[in-house]
């Protein structure tokens, strides 16, 4: 019982914290970088890097959300996704 709680439940808790708090944090950091890029006191080079950072963080959040939606959609359409290799293998359920 203890092994199950520490193993499976711990894994679910870790992914919940990672995606539940991680994605909003990425988005918030992107917003903060974008807000800092409009500061007139900074140099043009610094503002450019803040914009690049902000849009990179936004793109990363979108990619993670799209991958999660793809995983849910694949399993609901009768496919199984295996993460034993890279890239993950998608196969039809038997």
Write the pLDDT tens digit of every residue in 18-62. 778 888 999 999 999 888 766 665 677 788 888 899 999 999 999
Q: What is the pLDDT, as a whole number, of residue 37?
A: 65
Buried b / exposed e over 29-68, threshold 16 CB at 10 Å, is: ebeebbeebeeeeeeeeeeeebeebbeebbeebeeeeeee
Phi (first) and psi of residue 40, to 5 degrees: -75, -20
Q: Which residue has the higher pLDDT, 15 or 66?
A: 66
> Taking the domains of the chain in order of start, what are their residue ranges?
2-92
Residue 56 tokens read as 């990179």
Q: Which residue has the higher pLDDT, 78 or 94?
A: 78
């Amino acid at each position: 019982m203890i092994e199950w709680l520490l193993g499976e439940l711990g894994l679910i808790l870790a992914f919940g914290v990672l995606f539940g708090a991680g994605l909003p944090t990425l988005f918030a950091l992107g917003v903060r970088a974008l807000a800092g890029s409009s500061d007139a006191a900074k140099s043009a080079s610094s503002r450019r890097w803040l914009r690049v950072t902000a849009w990179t963080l936004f793109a990363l959040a979108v990619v993670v959300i799209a991958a999660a939606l793809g995983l849910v959609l694949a399993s609901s359409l009768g496919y199984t996704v295996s993460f034993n290799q890279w890239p993950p293998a998608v196969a039809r359920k038997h």
